[in-house]
Amino acid sequence: MPGIARLRDFVQDMTRLAEAGGGQALFHTEGAALLRGLVAVDDWLPDACAVPGPAYRQYLLHCDPLERFCVVSFVWGPGQRTPIHDHLVWGLVGQLRGEEISTEYRLGPPGTPPRPGRRERLRRGEVALVGTDTYDIHVVENAVPDGPSVSIHCYGGNIGAVRRHGFDPVTGAAREFVSGYANDALPNLWDRSHAPAMA
């Protein structure tokens, strides 16, 4: 796919932020601007990384060799949503297709349900932040009733391997989970034969 160069450029720019010692503050500003650029054009995501399933899917697009960040496509079919979950690392969410809704949750005393808080609707081309101080615990759902939505996520680690938590909607009890990924093969960012010849 010729447009894959956009993803390659994004990965290189994000790697430069990581090399600069970037933490949540840097990725929430400069990383968010980079992601806004990536999702502004929809011609680069390989079809194999946009296939809906019986539940929402997450396809790994790239993981930094030192696991300082990763890039993932989330694909939502109609009516699909996550459980209440946390991340424990910074995150960026850019909407590539359709729309999704994120609802923040706050934990109450043990044995009580988590309480919903802010709601954020993400439209095509927009970028939302996840972090220690914002939407770390939330539910995400597809806001399109009759079609898929696709968002591009970056996290401050190898999110599919992070030991994090889901929360019971009635009791608030936490259970540990490791999400993994839906794909075994990653997009090939490094075949430059599609690039225009140098003048």
Least Cα distance to 44 among 185, 188, 184, 159 occurs for 188
Q: Which residues contact 33 (CB under 8 A, 6 or more apart)?
A: none
Residue 131: DSSP 8-state:
B
Residue 135: DSSP 8-state:
S
Q: How far apart are CA 175 and CA 169, in angstroms?
A: 12
Rg, the chain, Cα only: 17
Q: Give binding residues as ranges.
A: 85, 87, 138
Q: Give binding residues for Fe cation as ranges.
A: 85, 87, 138
Take residue 40 and report the two structure tokens written for it: 């502004």
